[in-house]
C-alpha cells in the first residue's frame, strides 16, 4: 500500500509556524499582514475556497480584506478596485479568485495586480522570475506540491517527472519548479499521443486536468509517486455529491510508492502557500528577513 502524503497535516504545521511568526512581526511593525481576496459572481466552489482562505487568515492573524462583487461588475470597476488595493498600505497580498464571469478579461485583471502583491504568483513578472530562477512569489499550488515532496523526502533530482496539464495556474509553473529541482520533465496534455505510455515512465506523476478518475491502475508503475491536484465534484444518483481527484484512488493506491488523497492532499497546501506568500510580501515591504 502506498504512503499517503498528508497535505492537510503538513498545512496545519505550516500555519502554526506562520501564526507564531505573524504574532512576532505584528508586535514589531504595529500591524498584521493584510490579504485582499476578490471574488466576482457566485460560483459555489469559489465561495467555498474563499471562505476557507478567510478562516485560515483568522487562524494565523492575517487581516482579511475580502470583497464579493456581483457577476455584472464591469471590467473598469474591477480594475479601479485593484488599483486601490495596490495603493493600500494595509494590503500586502491581492488574490483574484478564479474563474471569473465570461465577460471579464482575466489576463488583463491579473496583470493589473502589483507584482509584489501578487500572492498567487501569476503576474508575468513573477512567472518570469520563476523561469529565470530568481527569487519571487511562486504560484501557490505548484509551490505546495514542491513543499510536500521535499517534506516527505521524495527524491526529485534525476527523476522523471510527468506533469499532466499545461495551465498557467498549475501545469506550466509546476514543470518549471520540478526542472529547477533537477528533474527531467515531460508535460502531457489533451493532444499527447499514447498517454498511458507517457505516464508509465513517471517516477513522479502530477495530474492537474480536472477529469475525475482519469488516471487508472494501468497508467502507473510500482515506484511512482502520484500527486493528484484535481478536485472534481461527482454527483451520485441519490443527489449527494463527492469530491474526487483526477486519479482513481482506490485502484491506484495499492500499486504505487506514494500518493496524495483528495480531499486532504494538495488543496490545504495551496492555502498554506497563499498565507506564506502573504507573509513573505509583508516582510519584503518592511525590509524584514522572512
> How high is the pLDDT of residue 290?
67
**CA–CA separation, 274 vs 92, rounded Å?**
12
Residue 233 annotated as part of some ligand binding site? no
Residue 231 annotated as part of some ligand binding site? yes
pTM across the whole model: 0.95
> How high is the pLDDT of residue 255?
97
| Secondary structure percentages of the chain, helix, strand, coil, to 5 | 45, 15, 40
> How high is the pLDDT of residue 243?
85
Instruction: Please report which residue ranges of the chain form alpha helices under DSSP H.
Output: 7-29, 44-60, 75-87, 106-111, 124-132, 140-151, 171-180, 195-199, 249-252, 266-285
Residue 166 annotated as part of some ligand binding site? yes
pLDDT < 50: residue spans in the chain: none
**CA–CA separation, 154 vs 16, rounded Å?**
23
CATH classification (class only), 140-267: alpha beta
The CA-atom distances, in angstroms, between 33 and each of 20, 23, 154, 162 are 13, 10, 32, 36
Which residues lie closer than 8 Å to 237 by C-beta, 6 or more apart?
Answer: none
DSSP 98: S
Domain ranges of the chain: 29-115, 140-267
> How high is the pLDDT of residue 135?
94
Query: pLDDT by residue (tens digit) across 140-178?
Result: 999 999 999 999 999 999 999 999 999 999 999 999 999
Residue 204 annotated as part of some ligand binding site? no
Sort strands 3-4 and 93-96 into parallel, antiparallel or unpaired. unpaired
**CA–CA separation, 85 vs 80, rounded Å?**
9
Q: What is the CATH number of domain 29-115?
A: 3.40.50.10860
**Three cell numbers at 171?**
501545469
3-state SS class at 234: strand
Beginning with the edge strand found earlier in the chain, give each strand of the sheet holding 225-228 in spatial order. 3-4, 258-259, 225-228, 204-207, 160-164, 184-188
The residues annotated as belonging to the active site are: 53, 97, 120
219: preceding bond cis by omega (within 30 degrees): no
DSSP 115: G
3-state SS class at 105: coil
> How high is the pLDDT of residue 147?
98
Within this chain, domains 29-115 and 140-267 share the same CATH topology: yes
Amino acid at each position: 500500500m502506498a504512503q499517503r502524503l498528508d497535505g492537510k497535516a503538513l498545512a496545519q504545521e505550516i500555519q502554526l509556524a506562520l501564526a507564531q511568526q505573524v504574532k512576532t512581526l505584528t508586535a514589531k511593525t504595529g500591524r498584521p499582514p493584510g490579504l485582499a481576496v476578490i471574488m466576482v459572481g457566485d460560483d459555489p466552489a469559489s465561495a467555498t475556497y474563499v471562505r476557507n482562505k478567510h478562516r485560515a487568515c483568522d487562524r494565523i492573524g492575517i487581516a482579511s480584506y475580502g470583497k464579493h462583487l456581483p457577476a455584472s461588475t464591469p471590467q473598469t470597476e474591477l480594475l479601479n478596485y485593484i488599483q486601490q488595493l495596490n495603493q493600500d498600505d494595509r494590503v500586502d497580498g491581492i488574490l483574484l479568485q478564479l474563474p471569473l464571469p465570461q465577460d471579464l478579461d482575466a489576463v488583463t485583471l491579473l496583470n493589473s495586480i502589483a507584482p509584489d502583491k501578487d500572492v498567487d504568483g501569476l503576474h508575468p513578472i513573477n512567472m518570469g522570475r520563476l523561469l529565470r530562477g530568481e527569487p519571487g512569489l511562486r504560484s501557490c499550488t505548484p509551490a505546495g506540491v514542491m513543499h510536500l515532496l521535499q517534506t516527505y523526502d521524495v527524491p526529485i533530482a534525476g527523476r522523471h517527472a510527468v506533469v499532466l496539464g499545461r495551465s498557467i495556474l498549475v501545469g506550466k509553473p509546476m514543470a518549471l519548479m520540478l526542472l529547477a529541482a533537477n528533474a527531467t520533465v515531460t508535460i502531457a496534455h489533451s493532444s499527447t499521443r499514447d498517454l498511458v505510455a507517457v505516464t508509465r515512465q513517471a517516477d513522479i506523476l502530477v495530474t492537474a486536468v480536472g477529469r475525475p478518475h482519469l488516471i487508472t491502475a494501468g497508467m502507473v508503475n510500482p515506484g511512482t509517486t502520484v500527486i493528484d491536484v484535481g478536485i472534481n465534484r461527482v454527483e451520485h444518483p441519490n443527489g449527494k455529491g463527492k469530491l474526487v481527484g483526477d486519479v482513481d484512488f482506490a485502484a491506484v493506491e495499492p500499486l504505487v510508492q506514494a500518493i496524495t488523497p483528495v480531499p486532504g492532499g494538495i488543496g490545504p497546501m495551496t492555502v498554506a502557500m497563499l498565507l506564506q506568500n502573504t507573509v513573505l510580501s509583508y516582510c519584503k515591504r518592511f525590509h524584514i528577513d522572512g
